[in-house]
Each structure stands twice: as structure tokens, then as C-alpha cells.
């Protein structure tokens, strides 16, 4: 609902979540599938330096989604 | 029916023929007999009842003081000893819908008289009074007044006679939002399979639990170039400074908070934690960047892939939070971010 209100106000938002059907059903236009419910941006199985690289990859995908024109709710992976 | 029903009708200033918006501030008054749509109401009653009085009140006057004006209206209705109170229908008008809902609620509770109204499902009055009031579902405009009053009268007569009402969809009223136990012919598993087969086969079927519908929101235009944009990080994962100094609720949030990240290049577990009770926070509390990716975002900022990171993280707890509160948080956050010329948001959800 937060993302919807931001979008209503014209602010582009990408929502990272493991539960993509929820924001997608709510009509959030830019949804990015994240790692897991308990760690949206991370991978605890990796050493910290590598985990940070994974995190940067998520953010790059998020930034890409923000730069992409969408016509209807889309889920990015 | 043995004797003609005594009906009191409630209408607003407009349908009460008092005038347009200029009359919206008028206090309640009572008139003998039907007024405006009351004539159509009487026709719909087909001689089985008559409109003995009409209460007219300005929408602004009523909606600004629902309880007090509601009581005044009850005092006006009571001397007519009605068998039934009919309000509206209010269609898409929000203030009128709230007034009609209130009149029905009070008529039933205080006067012990059956009451019915009609309005569109999107009317805020439907949201507020659907539990207490019997609300016939209508379109958005008064074009269908005669048919709608007919449907209202048919349902109202059942109400007066003490008959049990059928399912909302079949009777045409807005669900009260109550659950009733009843014995189904088949078990849930069989009903689910039947529904699935109907769906696959392209046949019609009816869900037993309709999901709330959300109007589509147009996607804001894409950011031209994020390497020049101001980006904010938001989370609904309950991130707070260690010790939760502002007492963010761990569920059912009533507020959102903003915390400065000025001068920080990561979130340390010594300084931040999550108070969210909707997921296991162990891994996030080991490294809060797994929830709000500040360390990675800072690097991207330094490497020029993000123009500028907003110096504040906005946070709330997205579990057991009412839709109304979540909407409010979103609106308030948007207002603040726009003031600060934020061009894009990365929202991390658990």
C-alpha cells in the first residue's frame, strides 16, 4: 500500500520482496523478486565481501527497473 | 400484509429539494409525507406502505457532526412511530452515504426500527456502516432510482417481517462482513476441485472468499538516468536504531519514522535492528544491510551509478498494519519525498 501511494503521487518506486504476488496483486507496477523473506538483500551463505557484491547486483536490477517504462504491474527478476 | 407500513424517509438537501451546495449546511427538518424520491419510494411500496414523513438535512451539516446530528434526527423520526426507515439511496456521494449509514445504524439501535439504505460499494459510507446497516448495492448515479428503490423495498419488507436474508450477492446488498456457519453439501476439498475444474473448463463459478479489489495505479514515468537521480531507501521490515528509541510497533504499526544515515556507509548490527514480528529477524539482525542495503547503495553512489542517496531511511513495520494506516504512511512519505525532490524509491519488504 505504501508503494501504491508513492506511485499515485508520481514517485517511481521498485519494491523488492520475496513475496512478489502480494504487491503484484495490489497493483504495484515495479516489483523485483528478492532473495528471501528473512533477508531481502543478501545471501548469508556467502562471505561478507561476496554477499555485498550480491547486494549490489540486486540494487543494479532495482535501478534498472526504475529506468524502465512499464504499462502494467510487472515483476522483475 | 395486514396494515400499511409507516415509513419515514431520510434524504439530503439536494434530494430534499432545498438546493445545491449552498444548502449543504442546513440543519435537519421534518416534512409530512414524501418529498422528491419519496414519491418513487411510495410507488415502489405499491400500496403496502406509505411515507408518513421525510427528514431532510444538509450533507455538510450532518457529516461534520455525525453523532450529534444523528441523535437530533432520531428525535425527529420517533414521534412518527415508523415500521421502517429508508435512507437515500446515496449512490456515489460520500457525505450523503455516511449520513444514510448513520441514520440506519441509529434507527436500528436506538429506535429499534428496521432500516435500509442504498449506495455504491465504493462510497465511504459503505465502508463505515456495512456492518451495522443493510445497504443495497447501487450504481454511482441516480439514473436507476426507481429500480433501486424497488429492490430496497423488497428487501426491507423481508426485514420488517423478520425473514432471514439470503446471500449478499443473490439479494443485492453489500456484505456485512460477517461469517456465518452453515453446513455445506460437500467438503472444502471437493468444492475447491469443482471450482478448479469449472475454471479450467471455462465455466462460471463463484468464489467463496472474494479478494479485495484495488484500482490500478498508473506507473510513474521511468527515471531517465539514475546516475543523476536522488534515490531514497524505504523499508517495511521494522528497521530501527538499536533499542528502538521511538517505540516503533513490532506489529500493527501506527507510525513510520525517518532516520538519518548521513555520514554512514553501512548499517552495523551494533547500531540497528529489526523489531518486525512477522518474520525471523535473526539474519537481518546479524547484518541489517540484508534488510536495507545501505552498504551496497553507498558504493554505487561513490561509483557514480546512483546520483545521490537520500540522507534518511524511512521505515515502518508491515505486519498486522491496517490498510488505512499503510495508505496514510504512503501518502505522508510521498509528500515528504516530493518536498525533498526524491526521484526514485527502493522499497525493501520482508
Question: CB–CB of A12 and B217 under 8 A?
Answer: no
For residue B212, pLDDT beyond 80: no
Distance from C-alpha of B161 to C-alpha of A18, rounded to nearest angstrom: 53
Query: Among partner residues A34, A38, A55, which is closest to B284 by beta-carbon distance?
Result: A38
Of the candidates B12, B62, B236, the residue with the CA atom closest to the CA atom of residue A15: B236
In chain A, what percentage of residues exceed pLDDT 90? Answer: 82
Nearest chain B residue to A73, by CA: B219
For residue B235, pLDDT beyond 90: yes
For range B243-259, the mean pLDDT: 95
Could you tell me the pLDDT band of residue B44, with boundaries at 50, 70 and 90?
A: very high
Q: What grid cell was written down for B306?
A: 546512483
Query: pLDDT digit string (tens) for B123-162?
Result: 888 988 988 899 999 998 899 999 999 999 999 999 999 9
For range B102-127, the mean pLDDT: 93
Element (H, E) at A16: strand A13-17
- Residue B2 has what pLDDT? 58
Element (H, E) at A53: helix A48-66
**DSSP state, residue A68:** S
For residue B1, pLDDT beyond 60: no
* B61 in Cβ contact with B90 (< 8 Å): no
- Contact of B236 with chain A, judged by CB distance below 8 Å, is answered with yes
Distance from C-alpha of A9 to C-alpha of B217, rounded to nearest angstrom: 10
In chain B, what percentage of residues exceed pLDDT 90? Answer: 77
What is the set of domains in chain B, with CATH numbers? 5-171 (3.40.50.2300), 226-348 (no CATH)
Please, what sign has the CA dihedral across residues B294, A46, A15, B270?
Answer: negative
User: Could you give the strand order of the β-sheet that contains B49-57, starting from the edge strand earlier in sequence?
Assistant: B29-32, B49-57, B5-12, B84-87, B115-119, B135-137
For range B36-45, the mean pLDDT: 95
pTM of the entire predicted model: 0.60
- Residue B216 has what pLDDT? 86
Query: Among partner residues B282, B297, B330, which is closest to A2 by beta-carbon distance?
Result: B330
- Residue B215 has what pLDDT? 80
Cα three-residue angle B327-B329-B333, rounded to 5 degrees: 120
Query: Among partner residues B282, B291, B342, which is closest to A40 by beta-carbon distance?
Result: B291
**Residue B340: CB atoms within 10 Å:** 11
Nearest chain B residue to A22, by CA: B349
Query: Among partner residues A11, A59, A67, which is closest to B342 by beta-carbon distance?
Result: A11
Tell me the chain A residues in contact with residue B211 when contact means C-beta distances shorter than 8 Å: 25
B248 to chain A, closest Cα gap in Å: 17
For range B83-106, the mean pLDDT: 95
A46 to chain B, closest Cα gap in Å: 12
Could you tell me the pLDDT band of residue B319, with boundaries at 50, 70 and 90?
A: confident
CB-based contacts of B314, cutoff 8 Å, min separation 6: B232, B233, B234, B235, B256, B257, B258, B333, B336, B337
Crossing angle for the helix pair B66-77 and B94-110, to the nearest 10 degrees: 60
Mean per-residue pLDDT of chain A: 94
For residue B288, pLDDT beyond 90: yes
For residue B196, pLDDT beyond 90: yes
A65 to chain B, closest Cα gap in Å: 8
A49 to chain B, closest Cα gap in Å: 10
Distance from C-alpha of B51 to C-alpha of B6, rounded to nearest angstrom: 6
- Residue B77 has what pLDDT? 97
With a cut of 0.90, is the ipTM above it? yes
**DSSP state, residue A17:** E
Q: Within the 152-191 window of chain B, which residues sit less than 8 Å (CB to CB) from chain A?
A: none
* B281 in Cβ contact with B273 (< 8 Å): yes
For range A32-47, the mean pLDDT: 93
Amino acid at each position: 500500500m505504501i508503494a501504491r501511494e508513492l506511485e499515485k503521487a508520481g514517485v517511481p518506486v521498485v519494491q523488492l520482496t520475496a513475496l512478489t504476488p502480494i504487491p503484484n496483486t495490489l497493483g504495484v507496477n515495479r516489483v523485483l523478486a528478492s532473495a528471501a523473506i528473512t533477508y531481502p538483500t543478501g545471501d548469508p551463505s556467502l562471505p561478507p565481501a561476496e554477499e555485498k557484491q550480491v547486494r549490489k547486483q540486486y540494487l543494479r536490477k532495482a535501478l534498472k527497473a526504475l529506468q524502465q517504462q512499464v504499462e502494467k504491474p510487472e515483476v522483475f527478476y | 400484509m395486514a396494515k400499511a407500513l409507516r415509513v419515514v424517509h431520510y434524504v439530503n438537501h439536494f434530494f430534499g429539494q432545498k438546493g445545491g451546495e449552498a444548502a449543504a449546511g442546513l440543519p435537519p427538518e421534518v416534512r409530512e409525507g414524501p418529498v422528491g424520491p419519496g414519491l418513487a419510494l411510495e410507488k415502489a411500496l405499491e400500496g403496502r406502505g406509505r411515507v408518513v414523513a421525510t427528514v431532510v438535512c444538509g450533507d455538510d451539516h450532518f457529516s461534520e457532526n455525525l453523532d450529534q446530528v444523528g441523535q437530533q434526527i432520531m428525535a425527529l423520526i420517533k414521534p412518527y412511530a415508523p415500521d421502517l426507515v429508508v435512507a437515500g439511496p446515496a449512490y456515489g456521494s460520500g457525505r450523503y452515504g455516511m449520513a444514510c449509514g448513520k441514520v440506519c445504524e441509529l434507527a436500528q439501535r436506538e429506535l429499534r426500527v428496521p432500516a435500509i439504505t442504498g449506495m455504491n460499494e465504493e462510497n465511504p459510507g459503505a465502508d463505515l456502516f456495512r456492518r451495522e446497516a443493510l445497504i443495497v448495492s447501487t450504481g454511482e448515479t441516480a439514473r436507476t432510482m426507481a429500480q433501486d428503490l424497488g429492490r430496497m423495498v423488497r428487501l426491507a419488507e423481508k426485514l420488517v417481517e423478520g425473514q432471514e436474508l439470503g446471500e449478499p450477492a443473490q439479494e443485492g446488498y453489500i456484505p456485512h462482513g460477517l461469517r456465518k456457519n452453515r453446513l455445506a453439501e460437500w467438503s472444502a476439498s471437493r468444492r475447491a476441485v469443482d471450482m478448479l475444474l469449472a475454471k479450467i473448463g471455462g465455466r462460471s463459478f463463484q468464489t467463496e472468499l472474494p479478494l479485495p479489489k484495488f484500482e490500478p495505479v498508473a506507473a510513474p514515468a521511468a527515471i531517465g538516468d539514475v546516475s543523476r537521480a536522488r534515490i531514497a531507501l524505504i523499508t517495511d521490515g521494522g528497521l530501527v536504531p538499536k533499542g528502538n528509541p521511538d517505540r516503533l510497533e513490532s506489529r500493527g504499526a501506527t507510525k513510520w519514522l525517518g532516520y538519518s544515515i548521513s555520514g554512514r556507509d553501512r548499517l552495523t548490527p551494533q547500531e540497528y535492528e529489526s523489531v518486525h514480528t512477522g518474520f525471523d529477524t535473526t539474519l537481518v539482525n546479524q547484518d541489517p544491510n540484508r534488510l536495507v542495503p545501505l552498504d551496497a547503495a553507498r558504493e554505487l553512489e561513490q561509483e557514480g551509478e546512483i546520483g545521490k542517496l537520500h540522507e534518511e531511511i524511512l521505515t515502518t513495520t508491515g505486519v498486522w498494519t491496517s490498510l488505512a494506516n499503510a495508505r496514510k504512511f504512503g501518502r505522508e512519505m510521498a509528500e515528504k519525498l516530493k518536498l525533498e525532490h526524491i526521484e526514485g524509491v527502493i522499497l525493501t519488504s520482508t
